[in-house]
Amino acid sequence: MRPLIGVASSAFYDSFTDTLFDCAERGVVETCWQRLCLTGKMLRHIRMAGGAAELLSVKSCEDEIETDAEKYDAFLFCGGADINPALYGEEPDGSLDMDAQRDAFEYALMKKAYEKGKTIFGICRGQQMMNIVFGGTIHQDINRMNPDWTIHQTPYPMDGYAHTVNILEPRFLPPTGGAVVKVNSAHHQAIDRLAEGFIVTAATGDGIIEGIAMPGYEKGLIGVQWHPESLADKDMFHHNFFKMLVEYAAK
């Protein structure tokens, strides 16, 4: 039987769902379309890797979150809006377009999934949420901190590579055949203080944390800052991120 993966993506349930198409600004339409495409790619590559994937809707009732945490073998937390800095004890200082309902749902779900010993992977925002849930913090706007970090915010993560990352802990990433890999990039926030119990698995030469993992968690607690789903069709390293997810879920 295929491992069942719950995918928490914002494509279908953030504030854009209340915006009529005729009234939507171009930026809103482009963002929605991009998230739909990225979500579809994640679902496809989970299936290609041998898993079964289901999209999760936002829930606020504790018993519904408990049901989700129990039902799935693994969870993939995906990219999307900035996370409310109140969750890590800070005031907004560069955070934009926050989604309070999604934040509350994913924060609670990740904690429940961890308590139940489920596999947990994170992409982009998902990695940042992982760090926050376990007590870390994030940089709210890396572009204001270092002008060179603007390379991390390309407008379309589906459009090729943006920079390289250095692999520091290869056991928590797909096989690469080397110490450096090419990735895409579409974020203006990044991990600041790393949560206790985690290690950095990948980083850029300019100091951005690009991958994290909790070594002591047997079922897999692993995040990356880039979007492997948008490179996975042509690059096996990125497809194998989803294969690794499925393999951990099957343990």
Supply the residues annotated as catalytic. 124, 227, 229
Amino acid present at 207: G
* Dist CA 144 CA 42 (whole Å): 31
The residues near 61 (Cβ < 8 Å, ≥ 6 apart) are: none
Q: Rounded to an integer, what distance in angstroms lies between the CA atom of residue 247 and that of residue 241?
A: 10
Q: How far apart are CA 88 and CA 27, in angstroms?
A: 28
Spatial separation of the C-alpha atoms in residues 147 and 141, rounded to whole Å: 11
Judge whether 38 and 157 are in contact, CB under 8 Å. yes
